[in-house]
Amino acid sequence: MTTMIKKCLFPAAGYGTRFLPATKATPKEMLPVLTKPLIQYGVEEALEANIRTMAIITGRGKRAIEDHFDISYELEHQIKGSTKEPLLNEIRSLISQCTFSYTRQVEMKGLGHAILTGETLIGHEPFAVILADDLCTNDKQTKSASSEGVLAQMIKIYEKYQCSIVAIEEIPKEETHKYGVISGHLVDNSNNIYRINDMVEKPHPEEAPSNLAIIGRYILTPDIFDILKETKPGKGGEIQITDALKEQAKLGKVIAYKFNGKRFDCGSVDGFVEATDYFYKKQKEK
Ligand code: G1P
């Protein structure tokens, strides 16, 4: 079956100030968990969901991302035939299976604005969004469980509901100020699917409508672009995707999905260390 979602957008223009000085001259998306940069995990997740067209929103100082998803002839020549050559197998395979397009977000006006900047790469079709600093993994916990990645799970849901979808996770109430928080009602209990009626960007715990937080995986229908063009700056003076999605939610057109798997907040030092620890242990078990 051909998938209806063919493109994945990666907003990657942010400064990554929480990781200074590491991010002074290196894009935060290029920080490695073990030997692989964060954004490569995201691209692998998209490819696993059968998406081959990667649309990346960059900004000043982000050229290392473009170089990463390209062949380095000099390096290839140097290590050809050596024991190091297989270390490039995974990235080579990604490069041969995917196309990468880039556009720059000239001004930093928020996630909603970054997504709108991607309109030129996406066009008029539904698309996925991955925020690479939310690193997701789904390891088979039991024999019967599926090991599908989060985006692949969401695409299945899109095929049924044909509207925008956000991935959600239960968080401790005191952390609501870090996330978009939804309110909704369960429409499919066994599959953890909610229909959203309201959402708030980074509310104080006492104002949060629930403890269900949006994490960095979205499927968006293309009408979101016109909504974003009309969306006024919200929390932090930035154009928020949460505010644009709220408009779709008013029409009953946003689903929230509590995904199977694990998420690491690699936008924070704690989450980054946890992810590193997790993947290191996994590698040692092999
Ligand atoms: C963004 C979104 C927020 C979402 C979060 C997920 O915030 O604005 O709604 O919950 O990503 O990681 P950021 O983390 O970029 O501040």
What pLDDT is attached to residue 285? 87
Q: Classify domain 7-285 at the CATH topology level.
A: Spore Coat Polysaccharide Biosynthesis Protein SpsA; Chain A (3.90.550)
- Report how far ligand 1's centroid is from the alpha carbon of 8 (Å): 17
* Residue 1, pLDDT above cutoff 70: no
Which of 17, 28, 57, 111 has most ligand 1 atoms within 8 Å of its beta carbon, as the pocket-test mutant?
A: 111
The helix (run of H) or strand (run of E) holding residue 284 is helix 269-285
β pairing state of 53-58 and 7-11: parallel
Q: Per the structure block, which two tokens stand in for 70?
A: 């390209």
In this prediction, residues 249-278 reach a mean pLDDT of 96
**Euclidean distance between CA atoms 71 and 137, whole angstroms:** 27
- Find the radius of gyration of the CA atoms of the chain: 19
Coil, strand, or helix at residue 246?
helix
The candidate with the shortest Cα–Cα distance to 240, out of 11, 87, 79, is 11
pLDDT band at 142 (very low <50, low <70, confident <90, very high): low
* Residue 144, pLDDT above cutoff 90: no
Q: What is the dihedral of CA 42, 133, 226, 50, to 10 degrees?
A: 10
pLDDT band at 26 (very low <50, low <70, confident <90, very high): very high
List the chain domain ranges. Answer: 7-285
Ligand 1 atom with minimal separation from the 241 CA: 8
pLDDT band at 146 (very low <50, low <70, confident <90, very high): confident
- Report how far ligand 1's centroid is from the alpha carbon of 217 (Å): 10
How does pLDDT run across 266-283, given as a tens digit for each residue?
999 999 999 999 999 998
Coil, strand, or helix at residue 240?
coil
* Residue 140, pLDDT above cutoff 80: no
| 177 CB-contact burial (10 Å; exposed 0-12 / middle 13-18 / buried 19+) | middle
pLDDT band at 257 (very low <50, low <70, confident <90, very high): very high
Ligand 1 atom with minimal separation from the 213 CA: 10
pLDDT band at 191 (very low <50, low <70, confident <90, very high): confident
**Euclidean distance between CA atoms 5 and 154, whole angstroms:** 10
| Maximum Cα interatomic distance, the chain, rounded to a whole number of Å | 61
How does pLDDT run across 125-136, given as a tens digit for each residue?
999 999 999 999
In this prediction, residues 254-272 reach a mean pLDDT of 96
* Residue 143, pLDDT above cutoff 60: no
pTM, two decimal places: 0.95
In this prediction, residues 28-39 reach a mean pLDDT of 97
The residues, any chain, with a CB within 8 Å of residue 126's CB and separated by 6 or more, are 4, 5, 158, 219, 220, 221, 222
The candidate with the shortest Cα–Cα distance to 69, out of 39, 114, 112, 111, is 39
